[in-house]
């Protein structure tokens, strides 16, 4: 399959993830949609690594996975802290940082 197909799949997954971030109100699902967007970037990076016949893009993908793991760690820690404080688990109601 040509590289372009992989890029189209990547674009589609990224857009689904972006739509999910905008429409869902549960912070857990928002985090899952962020994962989708990061994974879409990973497909594009690995497709370009294949296109150039070079492993540098795969290193980038591994670093993206590390960043995604950190994001999950902190995000889930925040969700647990919100739950412990008996606050509503809803991004629309958690608007104290809005200014």
> What is the footprint of another protein within residues 24-83 (CB under 8 A)?
24-26, 28-29, 31-33, 35-36, 39, 42-43, 46-47, 49-53, 55-56, 58-59, 61-63, 65-74, 76-81, 83
- In the bound state with another protein, the residue whose beta carbon lies nearer, of 59 and 96, is 59
The least CB distance from residue 99 to another protein, in Å, is 20
With vertex at residue 19, the alpha carbon angle to CA 86 and CA 24, rounded to the nearest 5 degrees, is 20
The least CB distance from residue 95 to another protein, in Å, is 14
Q: Which of 5, 6, 2 is nearest to 46 (CA)?
A: 6
Phi-psi region of 5 (alpha: psi -120 to 50; beta: other; left: phi over 0): alpha
Q: Which of 77, 41, 36 is nearest to 62 (CA)?
A: 41
The least CB distance from residue 94 to another protein, in Å, is 12
6 contacts another protein (rule: CB under 8 A): yes
């Amino acid at each position: 399959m040509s590289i372009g197909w992989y890029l189209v799949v990547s674009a589609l997954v990224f857009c689904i993830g972006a739509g999910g971030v905008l429409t869902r109100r549960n912070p857990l699902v928002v985090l899952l949609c962020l994962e989708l967007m990061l994974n879409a970037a990973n497909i594009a990076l690995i497709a370009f690594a294949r296109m150039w016949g070079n492993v540098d893009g795969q290193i980038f993908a591994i670093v993206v996975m590390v960043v995604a793991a950190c994001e999950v760690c902190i995000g889930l820690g925040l969700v647990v802290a919100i739950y412990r404080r008996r606050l509503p688990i809803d991004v629309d109601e958690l608007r104290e940082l809005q200014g």
